[in-house]
Structure 1
Amino acid sequence: MPARRLLLDGESRVRIGSRALELLAVLVERAGEVVTRHELMARAWPRSVVDEGNLKVQIAALRKALGETSRGERYLATVVGQGYRFVAPVRSRTPLAENARHRDRPAAAHNVPAGLMRLVGRTADTVAILARLPCTRIMTVTGAGGVGKTSVALAVARTIVETSQYDVWCVDLSALSDPRCVSCAIATTVGLNTRSGGIASALATYFCSRSRPQWLVLDNCEHVVEAASAIAECLLSAVPRMRILATSREPLRATGENVYKLAPLGTPAATAGLSAREALRYPAIQLFAERAAARCSDFALCDDNAPVVAEICRRLDGIPLAIGLAAARLDAFCIRELLAQLDDRFTAPGSGQRTGAPRHRSLLATLDWSYQLLNEVERLVLRRLGVFADAFCLDSAMTIAADGETRAARIRDALSSLVEKSWVTVEKDGDTVRYRLLETTRHYARRKLAEAGELGLVGRRG
């Protein structure tokens, strides 16, 4: 009788400790299932981190209280390396007990913020991610800076919250300067107070104690990617009912990871003569029109300005952050003036939201943030690739990026890493592989090449 904290043998009360009784309750609730050691410890010691030896002591006490002997009736089976299973027949006194248990469960908890703006052009992406989630316990959404990884992840999280089946915790890692603080950030998000020495173990115990399965959204992992990968693997191993959705410019490379590459919003290849109706078929132009109208009430997309808007979106590579920043300047400039300013695209698309992260307040800040995360060879290769106006092959990249102190193997590794980190895109046609930089990335790379004083040298190689 769990509600009354009683164990009876017929009419006689069985003497049993509170922790052993709690263990019995969870084992009986899930009779026939394997209940892991972490789940049992979380149930019996919900706010403490204890040694596994304590669990063994309580299981032994429980076996004794039940009168289990080697020749008598068996109640508990040990599943080596996993946990324990209640194997005796179970019959509930009331047939509605299962329904009552679900009715008494606490409501799903979450900290997912409500959406403040419509997510434009990402329905197919959110649907695709949601379709793939049941097949993996960890997925990372990758893509270029400003492409909308966080927005898509939050949209997916809101959909998960609506099912009321999961607790969902969003952890923003962007402000961290020390990778060792990743575990602390997760603990702070869920309201767990613990000592620094055993945070991972305490988190595992906490998540196992929750009555619902857990979703953890780790946002902006690129600058702490190794620490994020380590804690993700630790929690997934210790908490069977946990799943993780991460965002990063590069994959976490965690065991079992599924990667979803988020592409820029679609833009037209040719913009001349485009009508407003035709232009609005492209998500990037839809986004510009919405953001422009929100900032400047007299703006309306029409046949006269549609080709100019389309060219702005094309030259900004369909990057949502850049498009939003550009549209916000229409209260000071006309469409054609805005297009002319894109020759210096890193100062033209002005300031973002006052409450936004500093790196999202300008396109240059976004790229500078990601550039600083590259190693020296990756920076060298990236800025030298900026001389290519179109797609290029591996041999051309090797020639341009060649450096007397850098071996060819390191250049190839750097190019591979730049692809993985969403700086360079890959175009495949059968067995032919070519590489390309987005226009925005190419202009940024040339800017860095000039700052390094290499523009003339590398230009002559091209």
Structure 2
Amino acid sequence: MAAPHHQEVSGFGPLLRQHRTTAGLSQEALAERAGLSTRAVSDLERGVKTRPHPATMRLLADALDLDLGQRAELAAASRPSATVPSPSSPQELAALPVPHASIVGRTQELVTACDLLRSGNVRLLTLTGPGGVGKTRLALELAQTTASDYSSGAAFVELAPIANPDLVPAAIAGALGIREDRDRSLIESIRERLCTDRLLLVLDNCEHLLAGVQPLVANLLGSAPELTVLATSRGPLRLRHEQLLPVPPLALPGRGHAPQVESLAAIPAIDLFVQRAQAVAPDFALTRANAGDVAEICARLDGLPLAIELAAVRIRSLSPASLVALLGARLRLLTTGPHDAPARQRTLRAAIEWSHDLLSSEHQALMRRLAVFAGGFTLESAAAVSKGDDLFATLDGIEALVDGGLLTRVDGIDGQPRYGMLETVREFALEELAASDDATIVHAAHARRQIALVTEAGAHLH
């Protein structure tokens, strides 16, 4: 049990710090107990984040062993304009998070997702794609657009700050306003709440908690016939009846021609860059003089929204032409994300590392080996540079990398699948390869494969 207060404090951050120090915990120790990141605890105490998600509140209160009165006080401190709730009073759904900016370039994806949810045939829709592609933003827009279709509305569960899969039920319960009942488990309470509710449950950032998300989602969909789940994940949840909707990078201008500035400004990737650049440099404008450089920036960043936003911030001190000149070191350049953004979204490197660190060591090794291919590759070429030269092991690894948003798949001109990396991901993987013991062996294997392909092509010409 937490000790009594020694002095009155106001504000969520100071109150959280007081409870932590009273319990004799460091920020790191509290984060470990709560299954959160140390950064999340630090941001809350410093006031970088002032309105924590209800699920985060519950995790902290449990970790600090707060009594009901202290929990109510902490909840009130996070929402100063609200009255202190009675510990026994029923709770409403947590409000959907309010986006910081309007959504850009997702009209088609939004229409497709809405049609799927409203079809009556989809109860689990998973938005997939690489880190930084905008899955969370699209899910929020989708939840706001369709919430009125559900009599009980929509609930948003932010899973990114959670490190322990066992805490997924607590996060969902917090978003649903479910309080702990000593006579039943949290999962039983969630099932009872949802058994008759027509609700859209949004689970954001599932990829690192699959061991907790998969069985719980399957359980809830089986027991709550009116429940629909919208998930975001870098890869599929791999559950029955799951409908995947890949979220692609933003559309880019076509290569080989120079459209008018007005038509260029309407292209989603360019539009996003201009909007974010004007947020930090209000006098910035897309002109005939800089339009080519802006288009080059967006193209070399693969149309990835996070990368484009991080690049646009540099307009405070660089011209578009200067930015283009520095894009050879994207990972060192794109490091100035907002301090109130999740840690994985503050730098391009952090976004890629989040996916990389979820891979097994074997699949991490495959990822760095495949970085030697600059223009994409076939399964056979991938096997040629893979450790052990095992075609089926390579196929399993490629599928894991595709699921993690680290590889893309396209159909080649002969109808056979080809795979490739976004250039932002490839730069990271090449760094990993250079730092490993594999570099010399991999480059030699790559050279042998290229020679074999050239020889084979030459034989077909005679």
With structure 2 as the length reference, what TM-score do the two structures score?
A: 0.73
Give per-residue Cα distances to partners, 1:108-164, cap 9 Å, x unaligned. Answer: 955212232110000111110010113211110000110000000000001122456
In the alignment, which residue of structure 1 is the partner of 2:267?
Answer: 282
Letter in 1 for 2:186: I
Determine if the alignment matches structure 1 residue 367 to structure 2 residue 352: yes
2:433 corresponds, among 444, 449, 455, to 449
2:145 corresponds, among 144, 156, 159, to 159
Q: Give SS of 2:303's match.
A: coil
Give per-residue Cα distances to partners, 1:85-119, cap 9 Å, x unaligned. Answer: xxxxxxxxxxxxxxxxxxxxx9x955212232110
2:218 corresponds, among 233, 258, 267, to 233
Give per-residue Cα distances to partners, 1:208-244, cap 9 Å, x unaligned. Answer: 365xx11100000000123212111111111111100
Letter in 2 for 1:203: I
In the alignment, which residue of structure 2 is the partner of 1:242?
Answer: 227
Q: Give SS of 1:250's match.
A: coil
1:137 corresponds, among 123, 126, 129, to 123
Preserved contact between residue 173 and residue 219 of structure 1 (Cα < 8 Å): yes
The answer for unaligned runs of 5 or more in structure 1 is 1-105
Preserved contact between residue 168 and residue 212 of structure 2 (Cα < 8 Å): yes
Residue 353 of structure 1: how far off its partner (Å): 1.6
Counterpart CA distance in 2 for 1:361 and 1:354 is: 7
In the alignment, which residue of structure 2 is the partner of 1:205?
Answer: 192
Residue 195 of structure 1: how far off its partner (Å): 5.2
In the alignment, which residue of structure 2 is the partner of 1:396?
Answer: 381
In the alignment, which residue of structure 2 is the partner of 1:409?
Answer: 392
Letter in 2 for 1:380: A
1:13-28 alignment, distance < 5 Å: none
Determine if the alignment matches structure 1 residue 423 to structure 2 residue 406: yes
Counterpart CA distance in 1 for 2:222 and 2:335 is: 45
Give per-residue Cα distances to partners, 1:19-46, cap 9 Å, x unaligned. Answer: xxxxxxxxxxxxxxxxxxxxxxxxxxxx
Determine if the alignment matches structure 1 residue 188 to structure 2 residue 188: no
Q: Give SS of 1:243's match.
A: strand
Letter in 1 for 2:396: D
How many residue pairs were aligned? 353
Residue 333 of structure 1: how far off its partner (Å): 1.2
Preserved contact between residue 93 and residue 177 of structure 2 (Cα < 8 Å): no
Preserved contact between residue 433 and residue 439 of structure 2 (Cα < 8 Å): yes
Residue 269 of structure 1: how far off its partner (Å): 4.1
Counterpart CA distance in 2 for 1:444 and 1:455 is: 14
1:328-367 alignment, distance < 5 Å: 328-367=313-352
Counterpart CA distance in 1 for 2:135 and 2:312 is: 20
Counterpart CA distance in 1 for 2:295 and 2:430 is: 24
Q: Give SS of 1:192's match.
A: coil
Counterpart CA distance in 2 for 1:164 and 1:427 is: 37
The answer for unaligned runs of 5 or more in structure 2 is 1-89, 447-462
Give per-residue Cα distances to partners, 1:7-65, cap 9 Å, x unaligned. Answer: xxxxxxxxxxxxxxxxxxxxxxxxxxxxxxxxxxxxxxxxxxxxxxxxxxxxxxxxxxx
Task: Supply the RMSD in Å over aligned alpha carbons.
Answer: 2.1
In the alignment, which residue of structure 2 is the partner of 1:125?
Answer: 109
% same residue? 35
Residue 271 of structure 1: how far off its partner (Å): 6.4
Q: Select the structure of larger CA radius of gyration.
A: 1
In the alignment, which residue of structure 1 is the partner of 2:69?
Answer: none
Residue 278 of structure 1: how far off its partner (Å): 3.6
Counterpart CA distance in 2 for 1:149 and 1:245 is: 11
